[in-house]
Amino acid sequence: MKTIISAHNLCKSFGKQLVFKDLNFEIMAGDTVAIVGPSGIGKSTLLNIIGQLEVPSSGHIHYEPSLFEGIHIPFPFVFQEHESLLPWLTVAENLRLIQKDVSMDALIDVLEAVELTAHQNKYPSALSGGMKQRVGIARALLCHSKCLLMDEPFGSLDEALKIKLQQLILSIKEEKHLTVIMVTHDQSDIERMANRIIDLRQA
Protein backbone atom coordinates (compact mmCIF):
# COMPACT_ATOMS: atom_id res chain seq x y z
CA MET A 1 0.00 0.00 0.00
CA LYS A 2 1.19 3.50 -0.92
CA THR A 3 1.46 6.27 1.66
CA ILE A 4 -0.68 9.18 0.46
CA ILE A 5 -0.53 11.49 3.50
CA SER A 6 2.24 11.73 6.06
CA ALA A 7 2.45 14.17 8.95
CA HIS A 8 5.73 15.15 10.58
CA ASN A 9 5.97 16.79 14.01
CA LEU A 10 2.61 18.46 13.59
CA CYS A 11 1.77 21.07 16.22
CA LYS A 12 -1.27 23.28 16.54
CA SER A 13 -2.01 26.00 19.04
CA PHE A 14 -4.52 28.84 19.23
CA GLY A 15 -2.68 31.73 20.86
CA LYS A 16 -1.13 30.29 24.02
CA GLN A 17 -3.42 27.28 24.06
CA LEU A 18 -1.66 24.20 22.75
CA VAL A 19 -4.02 21.78 20.99
CA PHE A 20 -1.56 19.02 20.07
CA LYS A 21 2.16 18.71 19.46
CA ASP A 22 4.68 16.46 17.72
CA LEU A 23 2.05 14.45 15.93
CA ASN A 24 3.39 11.97 13.39
CA PHE A 25 1.31 9.62 11.31
CA GLU A 26 0.98 8.06 7.89
CA ILE A 27 -2.16 7.32 5.95
CA MET A 28 -2.12 4.68 3.22
CA ALA A 29 -4.30 4.58 0.13
CA GLY A 30 -7.52 2.71 0.90
CA ASP A 31 -7.28 3.17 4.67
CA THR A 32 -10.22 4.03 6.86
CA VAL A 33 -8.66 6.17 9.55
CA ALA A 34 -10.43 7.22 12.72
CA ILE A 35 -9.23 10.31 14.57
CA VAL A 36 -10.27 9.69 18.15
CA GLY A 37 -10.17 11.40 21.50
CA PRO A 38 -12.48 13.17 23.92
CA SER A 39 -14.35 16.38 23.06
CA GLY A 40 -12.22 19.50 22.72
CA ILE A 41 -8.95 17.64 22.17
CA GLY A 42 -8.56 18.92 18.57
CA LYS A 43 -9.98 16.11 16.39
CA SER A 44 -11.82 18.48 14.04
CA THR A 45 -8.81 20.81 13.99
CA LEU A 46 -6.60 17.95 12.84
CA LEU A 47 -9.16 16.98 10.18
CA ASN A 48 -9.25 20.63 9.03
CA ILE A 49 -5.46 20.61 8.77
CA ILE A 50 -5.48 17.38 6.76
CA GLY A 51 -8.20 18.90 4.53
CA GLN A 52 -6.14 22.11 4.10
CA LEU A 53 -8.76 24.32 5.77
CA GLU A 54 -6.30 25.27 8.50
CA VAL A 55 -2.52 25.42 8.66
CA PRO A 56 -0.46 23.78 11.41
CA SER A 57 1.45 26.03 13.81
CA SER A 58 4.56 23.99 13.06
CA GLY A 59 5.51 20.76 11.37
CA HIS A 60 4.19 19.79 7.97
CA ILE A 61 2.05 17.35 6.04
CA HIS A 62 3.26 15.71 2.86
CA TYR A 63 0.63 14.72 0.30
CA GLU A 64 1.06 12.26 -2.54
CA PRO A 65 0.85 14.50 -5.70
CA SER A 66 -1.67 12.15 -7.36
CA LEU A 67 -4.26 13.28 -4.78
CA PHE A 68 -4.47 16.61 -6.60
CA GLU A 69 -4.13 15.54 -10.24
CA GLY A 70 -7.13 16.79 -12.25
CA ILE A 71 -9.18 17.24 -9.08
CA HIS A 72 -10.66 20.61 -8.14
CA ILE A 73 -11.68 19.61 -4.61
CA PRO A 74 -9.18 17.01 -3.35
CA PHE A 75 -10.56 16.83 0.19
CA PRO A 76 -14.36 16.87 0.23
CA PHE A 77 -15.92 16.86 3.69
CA VAL A 78 -18.99 15.17 5.07
CA PHE A 79 -20.02 17.38 7.97
CA GLN A 80 -22.24 16.93 10.96
CA GLU A 81 -25.91 17.13 10.12
CA HIS A 82 -26.49 20.77 11.17
CA GLU A 83 -23.77 22.19 8.95
CA SER A 84 -24.17 19.74 6.14
CA LEU A 85 -26.73 21.10 3.65
CA LEU A 86 -28.06 24.55 2.76
CA PRO A 87 -31.70 24.36 3.91
CA TRP A 88 -32.92 26.83 1.27
CA LEU A 89 -31.72 24.71 -1.66
CA THR A 90 -33.17 21.41 -2.85
CA VAL A 91 -31.08 18.26 -2.82
CA ALA A 92 -30.19 18.69 -6.52
CA GLU A 93 -29.40 22.41 -6.03
CA ASN A 94 -27.17 21.55 -3.06
CA LEU A 95 -25.25 19.15 -5.26
CA ARG A 96 -25.06 21.57 -8.20
CA LEU A 97 -23.74 24.32 -5.94
CA ILE A 98 -20.32 22.69 -5.76
CA GLN A 99 -20.17 21.85 -9.46
CA LYS A 100 -22.32 23.99 -11.73
CA ASP A 101 -21.70 22.09 -14.96
CA VAL A 102 -22.42 18.67 -13.50
CA SER A 103 -24.40 16.53 -15.95
CA MET A 104 -27.76 15.07 -15.07
CA ASP A 105 -26.29 11.57 -15.48
CA ALA A 106 -23.51 12.30 -12.98
CA LEU A 107 -26.07 13.69 -10.57
CA ILE A 108 -28.28 10.64 -10.90
CA ASP A 109 -25.22 8.38 -10.50
CA VAL A 110 -24.24 9.81 -7.13
CA LEU A 111 -27.84 9.95 -5.93
CA GLU A 112 -28.27 6.30 -6.93
CA ALA A 113 -25.12 5.42 -5.02
CA VAL A 114 -26.73 6.81 -1.85
CA GLU A 115 -30.24 5.59 -2.77
CA LEU A 116 -31.80 9.04 -2.96
CA THR A 117 -32.78 9.43 -6.61
CA ALA A 118 -36.43 9.96 -5.78
CA HIS A 119 -35.66 12.82 -3.38
CA GLN A 120 -33.62 15.16 -5.58
CA ASN A 121 -36.26 17.89 -5.65
CA LYS A 122 -36.94 17.89 -1.92
CA TYR A 123 -35.68 20.47 0.54
CA PRO A 124 -33.46 19.21 3.40
CA SER A 125 -36.25 19.99 5.89
CA ALA A 126 -38.25 17.18 4.25
CA LEU A 127 -35.44 14.63 4.76
CA SER A 128 -34.52 12.55 7.79
CA GLY A 129 -31.13 12.93 9.50
CA GLY A 130 -29.78 9.83 7.76
CA MET A 131 -30.97 11.02 4.35
CA LYS A 132 -29.30 14.41 4.86
CA GLN A 133 -26.03 12.68 5.63
CA ARG A 134 -26.42 10.55 2.50
CA VAL A 135 -26.84 13.75 0.45
CA GLY A 136 -23.65 14.99 2.14
CA ILE A 137 -21.89 11.80 0.98
CA ALA A 138 -23.32 12.20 -2.54
CA ARG A 139 -21.96 15.75 -2.64
CA ALA A 140 -18.52 14.53 -1.61
CA LEU A 141 -18.64 11.78 -4.26
CA LEU A 142 -19.35 14.38 -6.97
CA CYS A 143 -15.82 15.72 -6.42
CA HIS A 144 -14.27 12.44 -7.70
CA SER A 145 -11.47 12.81 -5.20
CA LYS A 146 -9.46 9.97 -3.70
CA CYS A 147 -10.11 11.00 -0.11
CA LEU A 148 -13.23 11.48 1.92
CA LEU A 149 -13.04 13.47 5.17
CA MET A 150 -15.87 13.04 7.66
CA ASP A 151 -16.40 15.09 10.82
CA GLU A 152 -18.59 13.09 13.20
CA PRO A 153 -21.03 12.22 10.42
CA PHE A 154 -23.03 9.78 12.56
CA GLY A 155 -23.30 11.97 15.66
CA SER A 156 -27.02 12.70 15.48
CA LEU A 157 -28.22 9.36 14.08
CA ASP A 158 -29.82 6.46 15.91
CA GLU A 159 -27.99 3.14 16.02
CA ALA A 160 -29.87 1.41 13.18
CA LEU A 161 -29.44 4.36 10.79
CA LYS A 162 -25.83 4.70 11.80
CA ILE A 163 -25.05 1.05 10.93
CA LYS A 164 -26.86 1.36 7.58
CA LEU A 165 -24.94 4.52 6.68
CA GLN A 166 -21.62 3.00 7.74
CA GLN A 167 -22.25 -0.02 5.54
CA LEU A 168 -23.09 2.30 2.65
CA ILE A 169 -19.89 4.30 3.13
CA LEU A 170 -17.76 1.14 3.31
CA SER A 171 -19.32 -0.26 0.13
CA ILE A 172 -18.81 3.05 -1.73
CA LYS A 173 -15.26 3.21 -0.40
CA GLU A 174 -14.51 -0.28 -1.78
CA GLU A 175 -16.17 0.43 -5.10
CA LYS A 176 -14.44 3.78 -5.69
CA HIS A 177 -11.14 2.91 -3.96
CA LEU A 178 -11.40 5.80 -1.53
CA THR A 179 -9.40 6.64 1.54
CA VAL A 180 -11.67 7.67 4.38
CA ILE A 181 -10.54 9.82 7.31
CA MET A 182 -13.15 10.39 9.97
CA VAL A 183 -13.47 12.07 13.32
CA THR A 184 -15.40 10.16 15.94
CA HIS A 185 -15.62 9.70 19.66
CA ASP A 186 -17.78 6.60 19.42
CA GLN A 187 -16.00 3.29 20.02
CA SER A 188 -18.55 1.35 17.94
CA ASP A 189 -17.86 3.56 14.87
CA ILE A 190 -14.17 2.70 15.19
CA GLU A 191 -14.81 -1.03 15.54
CA ARG A 192 -17.14 -1.19 12.55
CA MET A 193 -15.22 1.02 10.14
CA ALA A 194 -11.63 1.90 10.95
CA ASN A 195 -8.50 -0.07 10.17
CA ARG A 196 -6.20 2.63 11.57
CA ILE A 197 -6.53 5.01 14.50
CA ILE A 198 -4.96 8.38 15.28
CA ASP A 199 -5.46 8.78 19.03
CA LEU A 200 -5.03 12.42 20.05
CA ARG A 201 -4.85 11.55 23.75
CA GLN A 202 -1.27 10.52 23.05
CA ALA A 203 -0.37 13.81 21.31
Least Å distance between CB 135 and other proteins? Answer: 13
Segment 159 to 188, residues that bind other proteins, using CB under 8 A: none
* Gap between the Cα atoms of 121 and 117, Å rounded: 9
* Gap between the Cα atoms of 184 and 77, Å rounded: 14
Residue 67 sits in the site that holds other proteins (CB under 8 A): no
Give the residue from 145, 144, 134 showing the smallest Cα distance to 94.
134
Task: Give phi and psi for 71, each to the nearest 5.
Answer: -120, 125
Residue 197 sits in the site that holds other proteins (CB under 8 A): no
Least Å distance between CB 189 and other proteins? Answer: 21
Least Å distance between CB 66 and other proteins? Answer: 19
Give the residue from 138, 85, 147, 137 showing the smallest Cα distance to 110.
138
* Gap between the Cα atoms of 62 and 7, Å rounded: 6
Least Å distance between CB 89 and other proteins? Answer: 7
Cβ proximity to other proteins, 53 vs 108, nearer residue: 53
* Gap between the Cα atoms of 97 and 134, Å rounded: 16
Number of residues lying near other proteins (CB under 8 A): 24
Q: Which residue of 97, 112, 158, 188 would you call a contact of other proteins, by CB under 8 A?
A: 97
Strands 58-63 and 77-78: unpaired
Per-residue interface string for the shown chain with other proteins, residues 118-157, x marking contact by CB under 8 A? -----x-x-------------x---x-----x--------
Q: Which stretch binds other proteins (CB under 8 A): 62-70, 84-92, 162-170, 179-187?
A: 84-92
Task: Give phi and psi for 104, each to the nearest 5.
Answer: -60, -40
> What secondary structure does DSSP assign to 25-41, as a single string?
EEEETT-EEEEE-STTS
Residue 98 sits in the site that holds other proteins (CB under 8 A): yes
Which residues would be at the binding site for other proteins (CB under 8 A)?
48, 51, 53, 72-73, 75-77, 79, 82-84, 86-89, 93, 97-98, 123, 125, 139, 143, 149
